[in-house]
Amino acid sequence: MGSLVKKLFDQLKSKEFREYLMSTHFWGPVANWGIPLAAIADTRKDPVYISGKMTLALTLYSLMFMRFAWRVKPRNMLLFACHFTNECAQITQGVRFVNYHYIQGGEKKEDLKK
């Protein structure tokens, strides 16, 4: 176990890892994590506030960048994970949007409350 920890620390202290931490290959995805985190937080909000057009746009955006992250050399798995998470969150929001507006008839329910 001790040698495994030593190998991990040696890897973290390596020049390659320091260069990775100073690259756009690292900071781009880190900055991008705000989008899926916001989408995950929004899953607890009322579906009346979901924008169908924005959800569709973000779903397509994440699909394109998942492909980019996979195809770029070297593969950017941090970017891929970010957009995979966002894709899942946006699909969840899309399902909530369709369920509320088209299956449950959300706007009609609001009219009945008034």
Q: Is residue 69 part of a domain?
A: yes
Q: Is residue 77 part of a domain?
A: yes
Higher per-residue pLDDT: 110 or 88: 88
Q: Is residue 27 part of a domain?
A: no
Q: Is residue 40 part of a domain?
A: yes
**Do 93 and 48 meet the contact criterion of CB atoms below 8 Å apart?**
no
Q: Is residue 62 part of a domain?
A: yes
Q: Is residue 68 part of a domain?
A: yes
**Do 27 and 82 meet the contact criterion of CB atoms below 8 Å apart?**
no
pTM to 2 decimals?
Answer: 0.78
- Please give the residue range of the domain that contains residue 94: 33-112
Q: Is residue 15 part of a domain?
A: no
Instruction: Please give the tally of structural domains in the chain.
Output: 1
Exposed/middle/buried for residue 94 (C-beta within 10 Å: 0-12, 13-18, 19+):
middle
Q: Is residue 93 part of a domain?
A: yes
For residue 83, pLDDT beyond 90: yes
Instruction: Write out pLDDT tens, residues 22-78.
Output: 888 888 899 999 999 999 999 999 999 999 999 999 999 999 999 999 999 999 999
> Sign of the CA dihedral 45, 46, 47, 48?
negative
Helix (H, G, I), strand (E, B) or coil at 87: helix
- With cut-offs at 50, 70 and 90, classify the pLDDT of residue 17: confident
